[in-house]
Chains A and B, each alone.
Chain A
Amino acid sequence: MKRSISALAGVVLLAVGLVSCGGDDSATTTNAPSTEVVTSEAPATDAPATDAPAVEGVLNVPADYPTIQEAVDAAVEGDLILIAPGTYNEAVQVKTNNIVIRGLERNSVILDGQFKLDNGIRVVGANGVALENMTAMNYTKNGFFWTGVTGYRGDYLTAWRNGDYGVYVFDSIGGVLDHSYGAGSPDAGVYVGECYPCDSLINHFVSEHNGLGYSGTNSGGNMVIVNSVFRHNRAGVVPNSGSYELCYPERKTTIIGNLVYDNNQPDTPAIDVAILAMGNGILSAGGVQNIIERNRVWNHNKTGIGLVPFLEEDPNDSLPDKSAWDTSCADSKKLMPVQPDGALLWDSQDTTVRNNVLEDNRRADIAVGSAGSDLWTLGNCFEGNTFTTSAPLDLEKLAPCGSPLSKDAGDWTAGDLNVITWLADQATAPPSVDWKTAPLPEMPVLESMPNAATAAAVPASATPPVIDLDAITVPDKID
């Protein structure tokens, strides 16, 4: 749609009404929650929610405040909002720093957008907000959403059947997503994007039946994804670069100790990129300097671990020079774009794929491809992986870690990956399924936060916990 408004001088206007400022409050969908709260019969929790005694700094919902939003609006830094089991038809917006919002029981504290409200809980510019132990479902956008914050934490969250992302973190640094779950979103079950350094950790996350299990556009820098499960999505773990968001390229993401399997799911909702990436386990699409180690990856129609280019047909800036890769996100935002003449090809570069265990990935267990660049110039290396097939053939001999790659190392064209055919594959891939009705397994009853009623409120730190990455081993299969 193209709309042009040119206000003409000398026009005399007559406007009568009360609506000229602030809009129609009664029609607000973004900021105003509904007040309907359906309190269910409480499951076993460690405190009777509605009889909770008044404790300074603890705001009980619905005992003290009938809605979560009212409690959030009343909270001050350091407060804990405790939510009793029940269904809350709210779109909660948080603008207060350093508060903790916690459900008393993960599976029965349910925020339900009823396919009308946009986000379960959205944290906008409020630092240090922790969301704990609850479920958000049926939102037109996201289950849980942080944007523009320093310090965030999501623990024991369930995001179920939401219209964009399950757990969505954008332009935010210093965070942790732990013991959480995302299913049924057309984009990613969990996303962290536009941050460098992100200083963020995803740990013990299960993402399934989404377009993408994980997506991270232009994120990286102490961006760590460990001990998690990505299964039954169109594609599993997809860090990616593109100039449709700021802070490109995606770089320095560490992916260790995850189970990635069966990401060929044909009946999920899916954005176009998810359909393009379908059938791949871990797919770096234009990412650079990533580390992919000690993951177990199996049963994919295309690649188990693939390093491929991302073609951006209508870019907004030129490719950043390698010398600019380490520019912080904050600094890169100050740069003005230089419009390129044509499409951009974001090659995956300088990534290490080491000590992963792969099997039954039909095109190749490990693969690297481009659409014009010489593969030996890209700096990707492979070593110590347990695998059967690679593209090109003998990939670990062609591209060993620890030494410069050479055109003369062998035949780089034998069995090479033709990613151009993937573009054509899109046309015949199963189309996206409406997220509102896409088939999902029965919602699992998931582990709840221990001692939710009594645990101290700890706002999110901007420094994620340090994980002993060296101690992580290849996980055993489950299912």
Chain B
Amino acid sequence: MKISLVSSVVVSAVLLVGCGADAPDAASSGAKPSDEVEAAVTTTIATVPPNGESITIQVLDNSYRPSEYEIKAGTEVVFENRGRNDHNILPESINDDAGLTALLASDMSPTAWGVPSTAFTPGDSFTHLFNVPGVYKFYCSIHGAPGAGMYGTLTVS
């Protein structure tokens, strides 16, 4: 995979980053899993600057349209709640709004992302810059589960 690596994000965390995506370009310090909860590690995430491109994903009742999409790293994605119900957008590793809130409060890396239903009522929009390559699988915990019901995948190359 060829990327334009012009900058990096350095994250010092007890756990490895990348909860919101399978980010293949995240380079860890090499700590073994057993060490992860015992000592802080430093992780460098390769990021790509904004490329000026933007796409919109409609969030309907109860689907993401499109549900699968490929974008280049550095693309901004706008999720618009165009339905009549509340929805959320959660990485697959997160169970619910509370889990997302905890994630976002503790991890400000670009691969920690999502929006809780309280902030995504009809008419709301949520924008995220996907600047780390990877496969981002997400779902709405109100109307789906990982890989079932209301779910989607963004592939960032």
Write the residues of chain A forming the contact surface with B, with a CB cutoff of 8 angstroms: 1-7, 9-25, 27-32, 93, 95, 118, 124-126, 141, 147-148, 164, 170-171, 194, 217, 243-246, 271, 314, 316, 333, 336-337
Contact = CB atoms under 8 A, between A and B. Distances in A.
Nearest to A140: B142
A317 to B, nearest CB: 9
Given A24-B102, A30-B96, A6 B13 contact: no
18 contacts: A3-B125, A7-B9, A9-B48, A15-B11, A15-B17, A20-B112, A23-B95, A24-B102, A28-B99, A30-B142, A124-B144, A125-B147, A126-B148, A147-B150, A164-B85, A245-B83, A246-B63, A246-B65
Interface of B: 6-15, 17, 19, 37, 40, 47-50, 58, 60-63, 65-67, 76, 82-85, 93-96, 98-100, 102-103, 105-110, 112-113, 115, 119-121, 124-129, 131, 141-145, 147-150
A17 B47 CA distance: 23
B119 A17 contact: no
B61 A21 contact: no
B149 A10 contact: no
Nearest to B18: A21
A2 B124 contact: yes
Contacts of A5: 113, 127-129
A141 B145 contact: no
A9 to B, nearest CB: 3
Contact of A244 (B17, B82, B143): B82
B151 to A, nearest CB: 9
A117 B141 CA distance: 13
A95 B145 contact: yes
B100 A13 contact: no
Contacts of A19: 102-103, 105-106
A23 B11 contact: no
Q: Is the interface of A mostly helix, strand, loop or mixed?
A: loop
Contacts, number: 186
B62 to A, nearest CB: 6
A18 B95 contact: no
Contact of A17 (B84, B95, B106, B128): B106
Given A15-B106, A316-B58, A31 B96 contact: yes
Nearest to A17: B106
B88 to A, nearest CB: 10
B148 A245 contact: no
Contacts of B8: 9-10
Given A16-B106, A170-B143, 7 more contacts: A6-B76, A9-B47, A24-B98, A30-B95, A147-B144, A245-B61, A333-B65
A124 B17 contact: no
A141 B148 CA distance: 18
Nearest to B150: A147
- Looking at A5, A18, A125, the one whose CB has the most chain B CB atoms below 10 A away is A5
Contact of A4 (B48, B95, B127): B127
Contacts of B82: 244, 314, 316
B47 A3 contact: no
A28 B99 CA distance: 8
Contacts of B113: 5
Contacts of B63: 171, 194, 245-246, 333
B94 A23 contact: yes
B95 A28 contact: yes
Contacts of B7: 9-10
- Looking at B58, B95, B112, the one whose CB has the most chain A CB atoms below 10 A away is B95
A431 B133 CA distance: 49
A147 B19 contact: no
